[in-house]
Structure 1
Amino acid sequence: MTDIEYAEAIREKATVANLEMNVALTTEPQAQSGQDFIADVAELSNCDSKQKAAY
């Protein structure tokens, strides 16, 4: 393996690691946002059900 091939392999591994880190950083907040949205929808649905039952 030449120095150029070695440098390209290192660069590729660094790029993959960077992409994996970016995915990990964006996936968790997106998952939390989705969970918050589902909780809000469930809460609104529950309030709507209670209002309908009152009438």
Structure 2
Amino acid sequence: MGSETTWKVCGEEFEDMLLKMTEKLGGEGLINESSNGFNLLMNKDKGVITFESLKCN
């Protein structure tokens, strides 16, 4: 595996983009994007990400 930020799962290679995202967005931007992602995936009634909300969203 080329570097510490890549890994293989089921024969597919994945790269961790967190460092690149942090460089591009800055700390506050990264937190905002993470928050937006959480809000898209969460169960609105419970305020948490559930298995069902993942299937729906």
Which TM bucket (shorter chain)? 0.3 to 0.5
For normalisation by structure 2, the TM-score amounts to: 0.34
For normalisation by structure 1, the TM-score amounts to: 0.35
Identify which of structures 1 and 2 has the higher relative contact order when contacts are C-alpha pairs closer than 8 Å and 6+ apart.
2
More helix by share: 1
